[in-house]
Amino acid sequence: MMMQILSETNLFDFGLVGRQLPELLKYLPITLELALLSMLIGLAVGLLLAVIRMKRIPVLRQIAAFYISIIRGTPAIVQLYIAYFGIPMLLKYMNLHFGTDFDISAFPGFACAVFAMGFNESAYNAETIRAALSSVDRGQIEAASAVGMTYPQALRRIILPEAMTVALPGLGNSFIGLIKGTSLAFTCAVVEMTAQGKILGGRNYRYFEVYVSLAIIYWAVTIIVERILKFIEKRLELPEQIDKKAAAAEEPEKARTFTKEAKVRYDTNKKPEKAFSQ
Amino acid sequence: MIQIRNLKKRFRNNTVLDGIDLDINEGDVVGIIGPSGTGKSTLLRCIDLLETPEEGEITIDGAVYSLAEHDRRQTLALRRQTGMVFQRFNLFERKTALENVMEGLVTVQKKPKEEARMLAEGELKRVGMYDWSEHYPKHLSGGQQQRVAIARALAMKPKLLLLDEPTSALDPELVGEVLETIRDIASQGFTMMLVSHEMNFVRKVANRVIFLDGGKIVEDGTPREVFDRPKSQRAKDFFAKMHLLKQPEYTI
Ligand SMILES: Nc1ncnc2c1ncn2[C@@H]1O[C@H](COP(=O)(O)OP(=O)(O)OP(=O)(O)O)[C@@H](O)[C@H]1O
Ligand SMILES: [Mg+2]
């Protein structure tokens, strides 16, 4: 009934929603590139900020707090505009002042958008990453120090692998938010999926249909990304149970490496409470 | 030969170590005992620079290290001479037993993977944990975890092995296997400082015992001298409280 009215009155063109999908999907790679590159910046800078705050590095710590406060205190769209107009100005200034030779007209809006969204993301990621880093038991870090590892080594080899499992759900969520946030990139004259949708809508004034198409695509992408994140989470889980080494193959070798004295251990092990109780 | 000189550490207004001097011969197993809160852990942690004391230096094989002032390079240099076994094992949770032991060999000593693996397997065999090479810490009992932690420390070939109450976080039935492992490595000539409340064990495994109290070494001697003929009233009281004298001889 409703369908009939819709199609007879030509109020809502169902077919168009589907027909437009391929045209919009052509721009999905740009959307994903924006999101992925911004996320990379967001992770790298976020980690840096998190370590600065964790280790309470003087001066840098105050700068980090100031930076995070600014980013969190201003709308993303404003940050994008500032990047779009500000970065070329900065380059021009550097050309004039330091005699560098940046081609300002060639500096793409795409890069401005990635910078702006990446730095925006970093301020939010910093907190997630800091919480994850500090969830790693101090004992492991001391143990890493005790074997002679430097802090960067401990961070890379011991702390991050464990913190990652803690941070993953939060970072995953913010990545999903970022994918949808890329629709703001039009501010930097980037034609990504939503911008292309607007262009299509402008051609035939079927704005409603095109936004429905867009909604479907974003939703589908989100579901796929969620699936991927679940998969990664599963991969990061430690196995439930592990087999002992094939005892038969190792037994002779063990016998060789053990001293006579150590063999006594096997007997005493059975009743250690007797052997050692105070 | 290891010499510790004038080690002083306080936390705010609480002086914990009040000028400790200690000479340790190679192959010595020094048992450190004393009342709770007397600074036994702090002593070991200062030697490993997990705490920074106000004063003190340590000489290991002729190389002098300041414990109070050290840049990053000196810190690492000293830590590479020492190994630490913690009360709560502190194994790397996301690494297998084998990887735990290999970690320092690969990351710190920059040994090739294959060589590190062989060495690590050797250390796991030494503590009887080779069969559990592929297990993660969460799959291991406390006693097994501690044996892996001992292997991890030994793999670095430390000149001085520091053990801070290695059995006090263990269920009673798991204490034996760890003590046995320690006794094993003690007999292999490793130089060790062992903090423990297992008095009978200290008596058996250490060739020298120091009794720490009030930031000072109050008793220092062979196990017989310290346990059987303590000079200070503090040590006498402590042993009386531990009912040590009533206990049967430790047997193996
Ligand atoms: N980070 C710290 N800040 C302040 N005081 C500390 C700190 N660490 C240790 N202390 C204090 O130093 C003293 C010595 O502690 P330590 O842990 O070395 O004792 P211990 O001899 O190992 O005791 P236990 O036998 O109970 O393990 C205690 O009074 C403790 O409160
Ligand atoms: Mg202690």
Read off the pLDDT of residues B38-89 as tens digits, 9 standing for 90 and up.
999 999 999 999 999 999 999 999 999 999 999 999 999 999 999 999 999 9
In 3D space, the residue among A167, A179, A172 whose CA is nearest the CA of residue A218 turns out to be A179
Instruction: Please give the distance, rounded to the nearest whole angstrom, from the Cα atom of residue B86 to the centre of ligand 2.
Output: 10
> What residue ranges line ligand 1, CB within 6 angstroms?
B 11, 14, 16, 36-42
Under a CB-based contact definition with an 8 Å cutoff, are residues B103 and A147 in contact? yes
Average pLDDT, chain B: 93
Put simply, the chain A residues between 221 and 260 with a CB less than 8 A from any chain B CB are 238-239, 241-245, 247, 250, 253-254, 257-259
Report yes or no on A7 lying in a domain.
no
Cα-based distances in Å from A263 to A35, A266, A268, B70: 61, 6, 9, 44
Buried b (16+ CB within 10 A) or exposed e, B35-54: beebbbbbbbbbbbbbbebe
Amino acid at A24: L
Residue A43, token pair as written in the block: 């992770």
Total count of residues recorded for chain B: 252
Q: Rounded distance, CA B136 to CA B95, Å?
A: 6
pLDDT at B124 over 90: yes
Report yes or no on A46 lying in a domain.
yes
pLDDT at A1: 66
Domains contained in chain A, number? 1
pLDDT at B199 over 80: yes
Report yes or no on A255 lying in a domain.
no
Under a CB-based contact definition with an 8 Å cutoff, are residues A218 and A180 in contact? yes
Put simply, the chain B residues between 51 and 110 with a CB less than 8 A from any chain A CB are 72, 76, 79-80, 82-84, 86, 88-94, 103-104, 107-108
Report yes or no on A106 lying in a domain.
yes
Residue A151, token pair as written in the block: 């802090």
Report yes or no on A71 lying in a domain.
yes
The domain in which residue A112 lies consists of 23-236
Neighbours of ion ligand 2 (CB under 5 A): B 41
Domains of chain B plus CATH, in order, are: 1-79+209-247 (3.40.50.300)
Q: How far is A127 from chain B (nearest CA, A)?
A: 23
Partners of B133 on chain A (C-beta within 8 Å) are 245
Cα-based distances in Å from A130 to A124, A126, A170: 10, 6, 12
Size of interface A-B (CB pairs under 8 A): 147
In chain A, which residues have pLDDT < 50? 248-278
Under a CB-based contact definition with an 8 Å cutoff, are residues A121 and B71 in contact? no
Report yes or no on A80 lying in a domain.
yes
Q: Rounded distance, CA A174 to CA B100, Å?
A: 33
DSSP B1-67: -EEEEEEEEEETTEEEEEEEEEEE-TT-EEEEE-STTSSHHHHHHHHTTSS--SEEEEEETTEEEES
pTM over 0.80: yes
Q: Rounded distance, CA B206 to CA A249, Å?
A: 36
- Residue-wise pLDDT tens digits, B128-183: 999 999 999 999 999 999 999 999 999 999 999 999 999 999 998 899 999 999 99
Q: Identify the three-state secondary structure at position B141.
A: coil
Instruction: Please give the distance, rounded to the nearest whole angstrom, from the Cα atom of residue B93 to the centre of ligand 1.
Output: 26
Report yes or no on A4 lying in a domain.
no
Would the CB atoms of A278 and B242 count as touching at under 8 Å? yes
Residue A116, token pair as written in the block: 């702006």
Return the CATH number at A101: 1.10.3720.10
DSSP chain A: -HHHHHHHTTSS-HHHHHHTHHHHHTTHHHHHHHHHHHHHHHHHHHHHHHHHHHTT-TTHHHHHHHHHHHHHTS-HHHHHHHHHHHHHHHHHHHHHHH-----GGGS-HHHHHHHHHHHHHHHHHHHHHHHHHHHS-HHHHHHHHHTT--HHHHIIIIIHHHHHHHHHHHHHHHHHHHHHHGGGGGGGT---HHHHHHHHHHHHS-HHHHHHHHHHHHHHHHHHHHHHHHHHHHHHSPPS--PPP-HHHHHHHHHHHS-HHHHHHHHHHHSHHHHH--
Q: Which residue's CA is the nearest one to ligand 1's atom 26?
A: B36
pLDDT at A37: 97
Residue B131, token pair as written in the block: 């069969």
